[in-house]
Amino acid sequence: MDPEQIDQRTQAALQQDEVTQAGAARWFVVDEAGRPAGRPVGLFTMTRREQSVEIGYWVAPRHWGRGIAGEMLGLGTAEVADLFGEQCVTARVAEGNIASTKALKRRGFEYLGEHNGLNVYSRCHESGCDQPDTAHSRAVVHLHRL
């Protein structure tokens, strides 16, 4: 992909479409409490689909194993409800990504099947699923909308 195509895709992803429109996306930079400002530890995204909101999240490898993904999921799924209303939330995960699979299952996501080489998980809103998972987390994170 050439730089112009990357720029076009980036601009399209960051466009603030109306949240009722399929394809509307919101991106967040994630930082960790106690770390210097401007030193993100990950990214979180949410995109309205026809019948759900799909989330995606990435933690920088040097921050793996500290509960950051789980905290991102808790804050991010709460933000989905705030921005898009009560929706089913889906996530796609590579088969070998055991940490993300565990984080999703702890948050009430259920395996739906495989699609385009990725495992698909879904959760329709349940009270309490967006609360901190203190048994598995050692991180306090903040989402900053782009």
* CATH of residue 96: 3.40.630.30
Q: Compute mean pLDDT per 10 residues along the chain, 146 residues long, and list them.
A: 75 73 85 77 91 93 90 92 90 94 95 95 67 52 75
Q: What are phi and psi of 144, to 5 degrees?
A: -125, 115
* pTM greater than the 0.75 cutoff: yes
pLDDT value at position 94? 95
> Quick check: 103 and 73 in contact, CB under 8 A?
yes
Q: Order of strands, edge to edge, in the sheet holding 53-59?
A: 110-115, 118-123, 89-94, 53-59, 42-48, 25-32, 141-145
Nearest residue to 30 (alpha-carbon basis) of 17, 16, 19, 44: 44
Q: Phi and psi for 48 in degrees, rounded to 5?
A: -70, 130
- Domain that residue 22 falls in: 3-145
As for how many domains the chain has, the answer is 1
Q: Are 89 and 77 in contact (CB under 8 A)?
A: yes
Q: pLDDT value at position 134?
A: 44
Distance CA 84, CA 127 (A): 16
Q: How far apart are CA 123 and CA 26, in angstroms?
A: 19
Give the span between the Cα atoms of 143 and 109, in whole angstroms.
Answer: 21
